[in-house]
Chains A and B, each alone.
Chain A
Amino acid sequence: MTPLNAAHRALGARMVDFGGWDMPVNYGSQIEEHHVVRRDAGMFDVSHMLAIDLRGPGARDFLRRALANDTDKLREPGRALYSCLLNDAGGIIDDLIVYFFTAEYFRLVVNAGRAEQDLAWLASLKERFAAALELRPRRDLAMIAVQGPNARERVWQALPETRVATEALRSFQGVQLGELMLARTGYTGEDGFELMLPAARAETLWGALIGAGVKPCGLGARDTLRLEAGMNLWGQEMDEGVSPLDAGLAWTVDLASARDFVGKAALLAHPQRRQLLGLVLAEPGGVLRGHQKVATPKGEGEITSGTFSPSLNRSIALARIPLGVEVGALVQVSVRDKQLAAKVVKPPFVRNGKVLEAVSDLLKRPLS
């Protein structure tokens, strides 16, 4: 369990098992929690995620070879980058955020359910490359993601001493202030901070954020928010058998430069076979869900994640579909015993509180 477990229970959260972690799925209405993040400020306990510190003279060169995205893009201290960690076959072991502090000090933040596999893989790569670095899992840290248009103001209210150092942070940039790290990152499509701090201080900060008007939100809202934001989830859109090229992540993979990295040869040998696009349900009849089949003029596809979108007030999904199916096309989804029409759109569906124009144009038309 996370250091905030007692705090969640005291708030009356509905708790679920999430890969061995006892986590809050919602505290009341998950739709209300979703709207709070789009309109004001909500927070998530993400302490189940793992920070891994990489220190040593070989750190920079190690990441050049270990990650699919190019860490040489990270020049300013605190800059962050999203990347896949690939296996030799080009499959996705995990997706992560890497923070650059110095040429000899980086921090990775990885998924809770993949942490052990990631650590084992990174350790094996360290051997393979004979890299001079130390890999240190930071189980001693708690993480709280504060998200929403008012999130930063509320964090400054709860932690006034951090304001000066964090006001100028750009998106995908963080800073360490003693034992506290603040980064302008998140998994919701909204502005905000992700905070990392010693576990022993987590409950006090959580209480101070509630005092500043930040509403606790569970994993339920976190999932609808990330789906609206068009962000992948490991185990849904990607896994060890899925290439980033087929998971909508070609933009994070650097195949053009001379840099060699784990999985690159496999990606070059196997070009993109499928595309990951969004679906918006175009008629009533149910909710789009993972694993539902999608019939298109170019062949069959499958939904990787589907839900009811509180911002659109309609069901939406991410789906892996054949190449050549174009944005705007109508497809048929098998929902229980019915075939329901859905429209293909380019994710994200929502960014910074607003439904994207292409999606909202579609919504103006009545359901058939």
Chain B
Amino acid sequence: MKTPEHLKYTETHEWIKTEAGGTFAVGITDHAQEVLGDIVFLELPPVGKRFAQGEACAVIESVKAASDINMPVAGVVIAANEDLPKSPEQINADAYGAWMFRIKPDNAADIGGLMDAAAYAGHAAK
């Protein structure tokens, strides 16, 4: 299980990367893709829509199961990776390269409440 140091993590297995300009990129962790198995469907959130923290905003389905992707911090979706639903297996191949959407957070400081790599590794190992 990979947990890169420069990312933040949620209990529901999303990773969050802080980008230049104060936006965040979001994807699912290596642990999540491994548990889900072969991913075959991804529905991205609509660009421009605001979600509360923890709100289900996207759907991912593997051969085994369907799962929600939750908004890591409150904010507005400003971009979605439209290529990813055409080849969702990229998420299995490179979970941290496969960003799903970008958000503009309502409050950039909210990211401070998320887990760092060490805390997430402990959480995922449970």
Contact = CB atoms under 8 A, between A and B. Distances in A.
Interface of A: 14, 25-26, 29-31, 220, 224, 284-287, 289, 307-308, 310, 315, 336
B66 A14 contact: no
A310 B63 CA distance: 9
A25 B63 CA distance: 12
B59 interface: yes
Contacts of A30: 37-38, 63-64
Contact of A26 (B37, B40, B43): B37
Given A286-B43, A287-B61, A29 B66 contact: no
B43 A220 contact: no
Contact of B38 (A31, A285, A289, A315): A31
Given A308-B41, A336-B59, A287 B34 contact: no
B63 A308 contact: yes
B66 A336 contact: yes
A307 B66 CA distance: 10
Nearest to A221: B63
13 contacts: A14-B37, A25-B37, A26-B37, A29-B38, A30-B38, A31-B63, A220-B64, A224-B63, A285-B43, A286-B59, A308-B61, A310-B63, A336-B59
Given A29-B92, A336-B59, A286 B37 contact: no
B63 A286 contact: no
A284 B43 CA distance: 10
A289 B63 contact: no
8 A-B pairs closest in CB distance: A308-B40, A31-B38, A287-B61, A308-B63, A29-B38, A30-B38, A30-B37, A287-B41
A137 B40 CA distance: 41
A31 B66 CA distance: 16
Nearest to A224: B63
Given A29-B38, A31-B63, 18 more contacts: A14-B37, A25-B64, A26-B37, A29-B37, A29-B92, A30-B64, A31-B38, A220-B37, A220-B63, A285-B43, A286-B59, A286-B66, A287-B41, A287-B63, A289-B66, A307-B63, A308-B61, A308-B63
A306 to B, nearest CB: 11
Most chain B beta carbons < 10 A, residue from A224, A287, A289, A315: A287
A6 B60 CA distance: 32
Contacts of A289: 66
Nearest to A289: B66
Interface in B66-100: 66, 92
Nearest to A33: B38
Contact of A286 (B34, B38, B61): B61
A220 B36 CA distance: 11
B29 to A, nearest CB: 16
Nearest to B93: A29
A286 B64 CA distance: 12
Contacts of B37: 14, 25-26, 29-30, 220
B75 to A, nearest CB: 23
A328 B68 CA distance: 33
Contacts of A25: 37, 64
